[in-house]
Chain A
Amino acid sequence: MLISVYVPLLITMVLAVFAPRAARRLAPRPAAWSLASAALVASLGWLGSLALLAFAGLVQIPEVAEEGQWSVAAVRASDPVHLTVAGAAALTLLASVTGLTVAAARQLRHLRWARRECRLLPGDTELAVLDMESPEAFALPGAPGRIVVSSGMLRCLGDREREALLAHERAHLRGRHHLFQTLWRLSAAVIPLLRPLSTAGGFVLERWADEEAAVRVGDRTVVAHAVGRAALAGSANRSRPALAATGGAVPQRVRALLAPPPPRRALPFIAGAALLVVCCVSLADAATDSEEMIETAQRAACVTTEARAVSAPSGPQHEVCCEHGQLDGPAQHR
C-alpha cells in the first residue's frame, strides 16, 4: 500500500512530461491512440490513488470505525497514510471530480451545439460553404458531421489542394476525432498536469488527418502546399488575436509532409504500454492492500469484543461480529 498507491500518481507525472514529446514524433495514428489510452489510464489511476489515500485517512476517524466495526488502533498500527497526506488527497480528489463534472457538462453542451449546427447548415451535402472572404475551414462533428469551408478558402487553393482540404476534414469526421479531443479535454480537467498532453493530442490529430489526405490525394506535397497556403492566406487576411495557441504547429505539419512518411517505431509504444500496465497493477495492489487492512482491523475489533464477551457473557453478540464475514454475508443477500 505504502508505495503502490503513489505509483499511479508518479506515472501520471512521467506521462505528462514525456508522452507529448514522444507523440509528436511518431506515426500520428498510433500516437493518437496511445495518447488516448494514456489519458484514460492516467486519469483513472489518478482518481483511484487519491480515493485510496483519502479512504486510508477516513478509516482512522473513530466514528467511521465504529460504524464499520473495525479497530482504529489496528488500522493505525498497520501504518497506512499520514492524516495530512490523506487530507490533501481528499481535497485534490474533490477538485479533480469537480473539474471533471464541469468540463463534462461543458463538452456535452458543445457537442450538442455542433450537432444542432450540422442540421441547421443549409443543404444536405457533406460540404457547407460559408460565403466569406476570410479563409476558414473546419470539421463540425454531428450525425452526420459536416465540412464547413469559407468561399475565401476555396478560392485561395488550387484544384488538387481543394481536394486535399476536403480529404483532411473528412478524415477528422470519419476518425471521430472530436471524441479523442473530448477525452483529452476531460483528462486535463481531472489532472491539469495533462494539459500539454491534450495540446499534443490536438496536433497529432491534425497530422493524422494530413497523412490520410496525403494517401487520398496520392501526393504529400500537395497536402503540404494546401496547409501552407491556407495558413498564409489566413495570416494575411486577419488581424484578430490567435485563437489556437499552438505556435509552430503549421510549419511542423508542413515539414512533416515534405519529409517521407514517419517510420513505424515500436519501442516508445512498448514503453508507454508498460507504464500503463504498471499503473493498473499498482492501483489494484493498493486497493487489495487497503481491503486487507480493513479486514485485519475488523478482526482485531472482533477479538476485543470477544474478550469482553467472555468476561461478561452475552452469547449472541460475538456471533454477529465474528462470523460476519463468512456466514452472514451471503445469507443476507438472499
Chain B
Amino acid sequence: MHDRKSDEPGATSGRRARGELESGVLAALYGADEPQTARQVRERLPGDLAYTTVLTILSRLHDKGMLVRHRAGRGYAFAPARDEATHTAERMRSLLEHGTDREAVLTRFVSELSEQDEQLLQRLLAGHDGPHHADRTDRTDRTDRTDRTDEGP
C-alpha cells in the first residue's frame, strides 16, 4: 500500500513538505494573471519561507517543464506552462460536465448550490464580515480582496 519502505520517517516528511510547497507555488502562479518573480511568489505563500527555498522550487518546477520563465530585471519571472494543463483539461472536461459514474471516487471541494443555498451562503458570508469589523478574520478577508483586485474579475 505504501511505497516508502526504504525511506526514514524524516526523509518522508521532508519529501512531503517539498511536495506541498511545489503545490503551493504552482497554485500561486496559476492564481496570478501575470508572470511572477520569486519574491512575488514568496509573498503569496503562507508562512515565512526563505527566498532561496522559493527560488529552488521554482527552478525545479521549471526543470520539470511545468513552468516557463522570462527575464525580468536581474532575475526571472515565472508563469505556468499551459499546454499540458489544457490537454488534461480536455480529458477531464467530459468527466466533469457529463457527470459520469466515475464521480464516485472523487471527493469534490464543493457540491452544487441550489438557489436557496446560494442566498443562504451569501448571507452567511456577508453576515460574518459585517458586524466584526475589528477582528482578525476581517483583516484576512481584506487582504484577500486586495489580492484579487490586481487580478481583475
Contacts and interface: CB of A to CB of B under 8 A. Distances in A.
Interface of A: 106-107, 110-111, 113-114, 121-132, 134, 136-141, 143-144, 147-151, 153-155, 157-163, 165-166, 168-170, 172, 177-178, 181, 185, 205-206, 209, 217, 219, 221-222, 224-225, 227-232, 234-235, 240-244, 246-251, 254-255, 258
Contact of A246 (B26, B111, B148): B111
Nearest to B151: A155
A171 to B, nearest CB: 10
Given A127-B22, A160-B144, A219-B137, A243 B89 contact: no
A139 B107 contact: yes
Contacts of B105: 107, 110-111, 113-114, 140-141, 178, 181
Contacts of A144: 3
Contact of A128 (B19, B33, B88, B97): B88
- For the residues of B in contact with A, the DSSP-based class is helix
9 contacts: A126-B22, A140-B105, A143-B3, A159-B28, A209-B107, A222-B137, A228-B124, A235-B118, A247-B114
B27 interface: yes
Contacts of A126: 19-20, 22-23
A159 B113 contact: no
Contacts of B66: 122-123, 125
B49 interface: no
Contacts of A165: 27, 109
Contact of A123 (B27, B64, B111, B141): B64
A256 B91 CA distance: 35
Nearest to A185: B104
Contacts of A243: 99, 103, 111-112
B85 A131 contact: yes
Contacts of A235: 112-113, 118
Contacts of A123: 64-66, 84
Given A132-B93, A140-B106, A166-B20, A249 B111 contact: yes
A24 B26 CA distance: 34
Contacts of B117: 231, 247-248, 250-251
- For the residues of A in contact with B, the DSSP-based class is helix
Contacts of B136: 219
A137 B108 contact: yes
B68 interface: no
B104 A149 contact: no
B145 interface: yes
Contacts of A221: 128, 137, 140-141
Interface of B: 1, 3, 19-20, 22-24, 26-28, 30-31, 33, 44-46, 61, 64-66, 80, 82, 84-89, 92-93, 96-97, 99, 101-114, 116-118, 120-122, 124-125, 128, 136-137, 140-141, 143-145, 147-148, 151
A131 B89 CA distance: 6
B145 A158 contact: yes
Contacts of A127: 22-23, 26-27
Given A127-B23, A131-B89, 11 more contacts: A107-B105, A126-B23, A129-B80, A157-B144, A159-B31, A169-B109, A178-B107, A221-B140, A244-B112, A248-B116, A255-B124
A164 B34 CA distance: 22
Nearest to A182: B105
Contact of B31 (A141, A155, A222, A258): A155
Contacts of B107: 138-139, 169, 172, 177-178, 181, 205-206, 209
Nearest to A175: B107
Given A110-B102, A126-B22, A143-B3, A162 B121 contact: no
A107 B87 CA distance: 27
A123 B92 CA distance: 16
Contact of A232 (B82, B111, B122, B141): B122
Nearest to B143: A158
A224 B27 contact: no
B144 A159 contact: yes
B28 A254 contact: no
Contacts of A113: 102, 105
A24 to B, nearest CB: 15
